[in-house]
Amino acid sequence: MTLTESPVAESEAAADADGAAAPVSPAETLGAPRGLAQPFMTNDAAQVGRLFVVASLLMGLGKAVIGVLLSLGRTDAAAPEDLFGGLNAYFRMWTLYRVSFVLLVVMPLLLGLALAVVPAQVGAGNVAFPRAALASFWSWLIGAVIIVASVFAGGGWGALDGVTGNESDAMALTLLGTGMVIVALLIGAIVVATTVISLRQTGMSLLDVPPFSWSMLVTAVVWLFSLPVAIANIVVIYADLRGRSAIAFGRPESPDIWLQLDWLVEQPAVYAMAVPVLGIVFSAVGKAVDARSSRPEAILVVVGLFGLLAIGGWSQDYFTAPQDLRDGLVYVAFGLAAVVPVMATAGGVGELVMRGSKTRDRLLSTPMLGAGAALKLLGAATLVGALRVIEPLDLLETSATWAVFHGVVAAGLIAGVAALATWSQLLLGPIQQRLAVGAIVLLGAGGGLLVLADLISGFIADDPDLMALALDGNAALNGVVLIGSLLVAAGLAAALLGAVSALRHGATAGSEAP
């Protein structure tokens, strides 16, 4: 007998005796929450996915505004001291912009899409651990709030003029918030990966999994293998900061904390948020032209290869002289090879279009436009990444680094919008075509301008200026960066508007083929 047997027996006997036991329907017992309780209690991963999508777009809009201000600070129109209250504050916002677009915008956006779409694609009713998915969202949101609040309170990832006592607490909070966000994303990644591996419907092998689900499995693995390295960095930095061991790893007058974590936003690790882009492109195009690839296993290989090349953490240049690592064979090989899977994806998309229905409506549909724009930007980013590792070009420690970053971020955002249009019924509801197309065009144009300006700026820079803190770059290029940032902000606003209006129409989950 177990602990629980006897009391139930007694209760049922009592209920039988007075005949008052009211039957409870399964719906009531499962207690699907309604109204305001829904975001706090939901057991439906699709709803958690929607929360992720809307919150990350909102977060993205805020960060895009910071991006506009940062760009403005580079022009002659306003000095950073006036805009942010000093170079240190400028540096804080500069780092917040970069970390946020990875951990608080693109990664959660794609994770949210996966939580809603993957179960339907593999034939499962829900994800493997819906409660863990909910915990993932709330931990991410709370961690994000801690990060943003602590950065505005004087924290951030280091200071240009060394860490003072007052800043130390706020910086410790920023570090803990970063760790919390990473843990939350890892929990979400485990949920998605377990769903793909263990909850596939009968008869569906891993080889038969749709491209987006496969790409999310690969993405989850990439995150699970590389983001923990950042946690290790955070542990050491935190101990260093709180132990006040004279910042054992730090040198006065230098942003050492940031330099220990900047690998997260540089290649190859920055590609980790772009792996699902390939899956979305294959799935969206396939659905748009109603065709399937003749070589599905090739898609798995292409996405898997890109995942392999997106694993970072090993390329940390803070503790060793950068030239020892970044000119090394492995770093160069990873940088050059990343172009291959993106080009192969372009080839695969071409094959799908050839095999599919080529009507004008289909070819000009929102998912097709989004897939095309995302792939082009990702291609541009990986090309710049390849140029960056070619030693004679001297692009390593220049703003070309941020050309890669901006290309990947814009590709991720556009792919997100394309996914919202492709699986509208599973996600938020029908998204207005004008808003979706507008968001794709604006994000594409803005991202393209940022990539171009950062790359040219990298070529013409006399000295390495990775942080663009010299603020004396080419005036015309600074103007282009400002326009690019404005377009990205407008694109994110259009995407958010589209998402909110789609939510108002409501989603009818499961009413369309994934």
Partner 1 sequence: MFTTGFKFFFGLFAAFVAAALVYGYTTGGNHVGPISLGWKGGVGDHIGYGVLVGLAFVSLIVSLVLVSFRDADASAQARLQNVAEVLTDQPVAASFWPVVAAFGLGATAVGLVLHPMVFVLGLALIFLSLIEWTMDAWSDRATGDRAINRELRNRIMAPIEIPVVGTLGVAVVVLAASRILLNVSKLEAVWVAGVVSALILAGAWVYTSRPGLGRRLVRILGPVAGLLLVVGGVLAAVAGERDFVHHEVEHHDESGEPAVPEEGH
Partner 2 sequence: MRTTELPAAEAIRPRTVVVAALLATGAAFMVFAALVSLYVQQRQQAAALGEEWFPSGTVELGPAGMMMMTLALSIVTVQWAVQAARAEDRPHGFIALGVTLMFGAAVINQFWFVYQDTAFAIDGGRAELLFYAVTGSFIAMLIVAMAMLTVTTIRSLLGPFGRDLAHAVQASALFWHMCVLCYFLVWYVVFITK
State the binding partner of 231 from partner 1, partner 2, none, CB within 5 to 8 A by kind.
Answer: partner 2
Coil/strand/helix, residue 188:
helix
What are 212's two structure tokens?
Answer: 């987006």
Q: Which of residues 218-257 bind partner 2 (CB under 8 A)?
A: 220-221, 224-229, 231-233, 235-236, 239-240, 242-246, 248-249
For partner 1, the closer CB: 126 or 474 = 126
Shortest separation between residue 234's beta carbon and partner 1, angstroms: 11
Q: Which of residues 174-233 bind partner 1 (CB under 8 A)?
A: 176-177, 179-180, 183-184, 197-207, 218, 221, 225, 229
Q: Which of residues 103-142 bind partner 2 (CB under 8 A)?
A: 128-129
For partner 2, the closer CB: 126 or 432 = 126
Q: Of 143, 120, 145, 138, which Cα lies nearest the Cα of 227? A: 143
Binding of residue 193 to partner 2 (CB under 8 A): yes
Binding of residue 206 to partner 2 (CB under 8 A): no
Cβ atoms within 10 Å, residue 260? 23
Binding of residue 131 to partner 1 (CB under 8 A): yes
In terms of Cβ atoms closer than 10 Å to its own Cβ (0-12, 13-18, 19+), residue 229 is middle
Q: Of 105, 82, 80, which Cα lies nearest the Cα of 94? A: 80
What are 202's two structure tokens?
Answer: 């009968």
Q: Of 284, 280, 282, which Cα lies nearest the Cα of 351? A: 282
CA–CA dist 33, 111 (Å, integer): 23
Shortest separation between residue 303's beta carbon and partner 2, angstroms: 18
Q: Of 460, 465, 492, 462, which Cα lies nearest the Cα of 476? A: 460
Measured between alpha carbons, how far is residue 324 from residues 1, 206, 330, 394, 487 in Å? 66, 40, 11, 15, 38
Q: Which of residues 300-319 bind partner 2 (CB under 8 A)?
A: 313, 319
Binding of residue 3 to partner 1 (CB under 8 A): yes
Q: Which of residues 32-71 bind partner 1 (CB under 8 A)?
A: 32-33, 37, 40-43
For partner 1, which residue of 82, 85, 125, 239 counts as binding (CB under 8 A)?
125
CA–CA dist 252, 259 (Å, integer): 13
Cis amide linkage into residue 430, ω under 30° from 0: no
Binding of residue 30 to partner 1 (CB under 8 A): yes
Q: Which of residues 159-188 bind partner 2 (CB under 8 A)?
A: 186
For partner 1, which residue of 120, 311, 377, 477 counts as binding (CB under 8 A)?
311
For partner 2, the closer CB: 194 or 432 = 194
Q: Of 105, 103, 96, 100, which Cα lies nearest the Cα of 56? A: 105
CA–CA dist 514, 216 (Å, integer): 15
Number of residues lying near partner 2 (CB under 8 A)? 45
Which chain residues interact with partner 2 by CB under 8 A?
1-6, 8-9, 12, 128-129, 186, 189-191, 193-194, 197-199, 220-221, 224-229, 231-233, 235-236, 239-240, 242-246, 248-249, 313, 319-320
